[in-house]
Structure 1
Amino acid sequence: MDISVVIPLYNKAEFIERAIRSVLSQSHSAAEIIVVDDGSTDDGAKLVSMFSDQGVRLISQANQGVSAARNRGVDAAKSEFIAFLDADDYWHQDFLSVIASLNSQYPEAKLLCTGYEFKTDTGLRVAKNHHLNQQNGVMEDYFLACCNADLPITSSSVCVSKASLQQVGGFNQQLKLGEDQAVWARIACQRPIAYSKSVSVVYDLTASTVGHSPVDFEQPSPHIFEFQKLLDEKIVPKHLVSSVKYLQHLTVMSSIKSNLLMGKRTQAFKLLISHPLLKWDRYRAAAFLLLLLPKSWVARSYMALKERR
């Protein structure tokens, strides 16, 4: 199985060497490695050029965002399948071999993904998803698998056919959050997704949160409106419609939670009473009650809800 690897790069000089070396050390070799430098202002591109004699290709462009960088890499890729790796994440040695095994077991699947773990300030934590019951299998409901669990797919744990990506129009360059989830969702409505629970990727939260503003979470991630487009265009299979709507609801509730934890009660209240994608359930009811509690109690209450889930 030939796999092109695309790494979008923007001001991640501190981590890019680690990402590239993790690809070069794969037991199943990548057909090519493409790093798309999206107008970095640090020395990241210079560090990438050190690997040119090992087959790493550097493409440079003016800053246009991660979606534009990924799309540029997809266009340049020569293989039938493309694996993505964020510049601040890295793979364990078996990632591409697990992907190749999934491709052999489930040839009808055009999106393949593995398990992953989070790197935090206190160590590594394996992502958990109780919707995925088998060690390997076909994901029956991508949208349900995103509910009340760690996401089943991240942008560093996935490999997808180039044809499928092009068929759905690639990554939406207008989206600033959730752009990858919008792509996986559109593909999930059209093609099977095969997964392995083998933990083969490290999602570095200590790197990903550097410089990230909490303001990004005051409003629900805009990718949920991409889900609405799928519903409006009647692309979502009937058996997945209820899961899509529930995931939209939970995404709005996640933003409400963030506002409550930041003490932004007015914004949380506005979302609670007026957002059109919300349903009535225990989470929404509990959020109204949390509006009355001191901020210090909010986090404890959310932890209690999480433990009972």
Structure 2
Amino acid sequence: MIPLYNKEHYIENTLKSVLRQSFQDFEVIVVDDGSSDRSLEAAKRVQSNKIKIITQPNLGVSVARNTGIHHASGTYIAFLDADDIWRENYLETIRTLIEKYPQSDIFVTAYAVHMKNGKINYSLRLVPKTGCLESYWTMLGKGYDFVWTSATVIMREALIKAGCFKPQEKIGQDLDMWARVARNNPRVAYSADICVDYNRAAESNARTRVKIAWAGAFIQDLEEELINPARTVTEIEAIQRKYDKKMTAYIFTSILAGEKKMARKALQNWKGEKNLRNQMLQAGLWAAQLVPKPINAWIYKIRLKVF
């Protein structure tokens, strides 16, 4: 399922990577979300009876994904952003996970992150090489997202049961979706094989389109889970770690956008247990409000180049 919006320079290679899969029992649903460039024409240049292209007005990536989910005929939905690449063994690896770990609704692989400066980073690779984690929550906040869109397949019924993607969300829609699926079934089947290439250097993505990193629905999910009595100590620690990171991104981008009142309110409403890490983060964010905007912008730019 590929949502498409203004990715004319990437979509052909993305589609070709899907068609090159060693496992060939799949359909490809591309939902063009009202692209204003030549993305739709580029997608149509890739000819295959496996590809179905749906067009809609610009309603946002969540609506596009929901459209794809409801038009899908398969049991599982494999998500892929229009500027990322699947390696040839991706779907074969996922099929093996599905056969080996039928108790899970979420199936993921490791992935490579291609930065703008040419550097390549990698998501967390667990030992043993394959397995089924009992809790999605324990992996939160450990480097790059363990469950990440273009390297994630989820049972279609589980997505529908969880309510699909929230249309109003501008950023973090996928994280909110995975969290709601995990509330019903927290297991995550994984492979440590690197099967996907994440194009972090793409011209247009959420990081460039959204000025303030307010992942509202996902932050609310985390706040609710922080007080969920069913969560273990290990889960709470991981949830707190992810929450602290998301709040830091939101508050710092608010400061960069000149919304210091918004930043102060968020700092005052920071949830969860106090620890040395988040107290240091909060102190740094209070101090950032006194730093000239160009310096903060430089710091944020450096951060994006590194991670």
Residue 196 of structure 1 corresponds to 191
Aligned counterpart in structure 1 of residue 231 of structure 2, from 235, 238, 263: 238
Task: Give the deviation of 1:284 after TM superposition.
Answer: 2.4
Amino acid at match of 2:40: A
1:165 aligns with 2:163: no
Residue 285 of structure 1 corresponds to 283
Aligned counterpart in structure 2 of residue 247 of structure 1, from 227, 234, 242: 242
Checking the alignment, whether the CA contact within 8 Å between 1:22 and 1:91 is kept in structure 2 is yes
CA shift in 2, pair 1:175/1:273, >3 Å: closer
TM-score, with normalisation over the residues of structure 1?
A: 0.82
Aligned counterpart in structure 2 of residue 274 of structure 1, from 265, 268, 290: 268
Amino acid at match of 1:10: Y
CA shift in 2, pair 1:61/1:207, >3 Å: same
Aligned counterpart in structure 2 of residue 38 of structure 1, from 24, 33, 39: 33
1:63 aligns with 2:61: no
1:85 aligns with 2:80: yes
Residues 20-68 of structure 1, C-alpha deviation per residue, up to 9 Å, x if partnerless? 0000001111421111111112222222223344421111111111111
Corresponding residue pairs, total: 295
Checking the alignment, whether the CA contact within 8 Å between 1:189 and 1:237 is kept in structure 2 is no
Residue 206 of structure 1 corresponds to 201
201-210 or 282-291, larger mean C-alpha shift: 282-291
Task: Give the deviation of 1:273 after TM superposition.
Answer: 3.8
Task: Give the deviation of 1:187 after TM superposition.
Answer: 1.5
Secondary structure of 1:8's counterpart equals: strand
Q: Identity rate of aligned residues, in percent? A: 27
> Mind listing any 5+ residue stretches in structure 1 that lack a counterpart?
1-5
For residues 149-188 of structure 1, the aligned pairs below 5 Å read 149-188=143-182
1:216 aligns with 2:212: yes
Task: Give the deviation of 1:290 after TM superposition.
Answer: 5.2
Secondary structure of 1:129's counterpart equals: coil
Residue 220 of structure 2 corresponds to 225
Aligned counterpart in structure 1 of residue 90 of structure 2, from 91, 95, 100: 95
Checking the alignment, whether the CA contact within 8 Å between 1:221 and 1:251 is kept in structure 2 is no
Amino acid at match of 1:285: A
CA shift in 2, pair 1:296/1:57, >3 Å: closer
Checking the alignment, whether the CA contact within 8 Å between 2:140 and 2:238 is kept in structure 1 is no
Amino acid at match of 2:281: Y
Checking the alignment, whether the CA contact within 8 Å between 2:29 and 2:52 is kept in structure 1 is yes
Checking the alignment, whether the CA contact within 8 Å between 1:220 and 1:254 is kept in structure 2 is no
Task: Give the deviation of 1:146 after TM superposition.
Answer: 2.3
162-171 or 26-35, larger mean C-alpha shift: 26-35
Secondary structure of 1:156's counterpart equals: helix
Structure-1 separation of matches of 2:62 and 2:205: 19
> Mind listing any 5+ residue stretches in structure 2 that lack a counterpart?
none
Structure-2 separation of matches of 1:170 and 1:265: 31
Residue 13 of structure 1 corresponds to 8
Structure-2 separation of matches of 1:42 and 1:300: 32
Task: Give the deviation of 1:79 after TM superposition.
Answer: 1.0
Structure-1 separation of matches of 2:86 and 2:250: 30
CA shift in 2, pair 1:141/1:267, >3 Å: farther
39-48 or 17-26, larger mean C-alpha shift: 39-48
Task: Give the deviation of 1:166 after TM superposition.
Answer: 0.8
CA shift in 2, pair 1:292/1:62, >3 Å: closer
TM-score, with normalisation over the residues of structure 2?
A: 0.83
Residues 243-297 of structure 1, C-alpha deviation per residue, up to 9 Å, x if partnerless? 434432331122234456x485935851564124265333223444555667787
Secondary structure of 1:28's counterpart equals: coil
Structure-1 separation of matches of 2:30 and 2:58: 14
